[in-house]
Amino acid sequence: MRKPFICGNWKMNTNRAEAVALAEATAAAAAEVTVVEVGACPPACYLEAVLAAAQGTPLVVGGQNMYFQEKGAFTGEIAGPMLADLGCT
């Protein structure tokens, strides 16, 4: 059976330092939990910082939003391949 997955979407909250601190705290808490997989979806502009903070921890990091096109002239959108390139799972 697949492990349940709990993920928080941070909306437009946090600045970079707060995002890193929240990711570190969430990663530490996730390390204590074995019955669920824990994820976080920070604002896109902080994905790299949060991914770095989560590296080597059980915290799964993803994007809050993903546009259905892989590329193109879509202002303000982020494509799945872009998220994968950052390291989102």
pLDDT of amino acid 41: 97
**How many folded domains does the chain comprise?**
1
pLDDT of amino acid 89: 81
Widest pairwise Cα distance in the chain: 43
**pTM confidence score:** 0.89
pLDDT for 73 beyond 90: yes
Joined tokens for residue 3: 């492990």
Q: What is the C-alpha separation between 44 and 21, in angstroms, rounded?
A: 16
Q: What is the C-alpha separation between 59 and 50, in angstroms, rounded?
A: 10
Q: What is the C-alpha separation between 14 and 21, in angstroms, rounded?
A: 10
pLDDT of amino acid 65: 93
Range with the poorest average pLDDT among 1-5, 24-28, 66-70: 1-5
Which residue in the block uniquely carries the two structure tokens 């996730």?
30
Residue 33 lies in domain? 5-86
- Segment 3-18 mean pLDDT: 95
